Amino acid sequence: MTDIQTHSKPIATTSYNKPNFSLNYQQRRWLGYIIRYIIAAILIVFAFVPVVWVLSASFNPSGSLVSIEVIPQNPGFGNYRGLFENQYYPYLTWLRNSFVVASVSTFLSVSSTTVSAYGLSRFRFYGRKTLMRAILIISIFPAALSIIALYTTFQQVGNHIGILGLDSHASLILIYASGALSINVFLVKGYIDSIPLEIEESALVDGATHAQIFRMITLPLAKPILITISVLTFMAIYGDFVLPRVLMQSSDKYTVMVGLYLFQSADYAQNWGVFTAGAVIAALPILGLYMLLQRYIIGGLTAGAVKL
């Protein structure tokens, strides 16, 4: 940042000498700021319209749909109470389902990603390059394209093993966890590649096994990238819609995303205020996670851009 600021100086001086400019350098700089602040304000309004509106509607007791007032007249928690006391839509169960599925899947997925990445980074074995290419190609296939196949597969297996059938969270978790060999494996592998080998070599000389080195040296050192992919994976699974929509069939098995979708496609006008409250609550955990781990998320996205 500071680099670029110092560079801006010479250009400014060159144009300062042009005769047709009536404003001096200082004035033009301020004019530039003002224009940019105005643009920033417009963009912020664009970014915040849905956010402000859903917040205000969720506290609006009238449930008036057309309402465009930003601050409701008699704000209250009525919609939130309605959300948790609704007997037809078990919102809390959905929220819990989402958390269970997303946490377990993230844990399994990140664990197997990391173990695989260590293997790919530290060992040279026959078929390694081919394997990496195959992983790349396979990981491209979007899960949405496999829904028909996944649906029929779990239907068939479910006839014999109920817990691995349709309408079971275990099935959902297995699918998400198996997405481990995806682009994430390359992010982690790249990170482990950059950890110097010397520490591990001296540990090997001291008689440590690879499993010990992995657990006691690599894992702690790779913590930043692990946090990054954990958060991104959790966010992706928590927000996924199509798989739980197709595979989960009874309403107490839905995730919060599927539930929210049903909320608003069901009895529209009646569920109105309750839907907005549900939307706010569903977004809060991810927003919180983001604020807490912003550094890792932005770092991960930037690394993905610069390194891949």
One residue of 17, 20, 85, 160 binding other proteins per CB under 8 A: 160
177 binds other proteins (CB under 8 A): yes
The residue (of 88 and 125) whose beta carbon lies closer to other proteins is 125
Residues in the chain: 308
Q: Residue 102: name the closest of 223, 244, 219 by CA.
A: 244
Within 10 angstroms of residue 136's Cβ, the number of other Cβ atoms is 14
Q: Residue 166: name the closest of 186, 185, 150, 190 by CA.
A: 150
- Pairwise CA distance, residues 142 & 179, whole Å: 10
- Span near other proteins by CB under 8 A; candidates 84-92, 198-206, 217-225, 239-247: 239-247
Phi-psi region of 168 (alpha: psi -120 to 50; beta: other; left: phi over 0): beta
48 binds other proteins (CB under 8 A): yes
Euclidean distance between the first and the last CA atom of the chain, given in angstroms as a whole number: 23
103 binds other proteins (CB under 8 A): no
147 binds other proteins (CB under 8 A): yes
One residue of 19, 20, 123, 206 binding other proteins per CB under 8 A: 123
145 binds other proteins (CB under 8 A): yes
Q: Footprint of other proteins on residues 247-266 (CB under 8 A)?
A: 257, 260-261, 264
Q: Is 283 helix (H, G, I), strand (E, B) or coil?
A: helix
One residue of 100, 115, 221, 227 binding other proteins per CB under 8 A: 115
Minimum Å gap between C-beta 32 and other proteins is 9
Within 10 angstroms of residue 278's Cβ, the number of other Cβ atoms is 27
Sign of CA dihedral 74, 50, 54, 283: negative
The residue (of 78 and 237) whose beta carbon lies closer to other proteins is 237
- Pairwise CA distance, residues 23 & 16, whole Å: 9
One residue of 62, 86, 139, 251 binding other proteins per CB under 8 A: 139
Count interface residues toward other proteins (CB under 8 A). Answer: 111
Structure tokens at 277: 């409250």
- Span near other proteins by CB under 8 A; candidates 82-90, 170-178, 200-208, 217-225: 170-178
- Span near other proteins by CB under 8 A; candidates 53-61, 72-80, 84-92, 219-227: 53-61
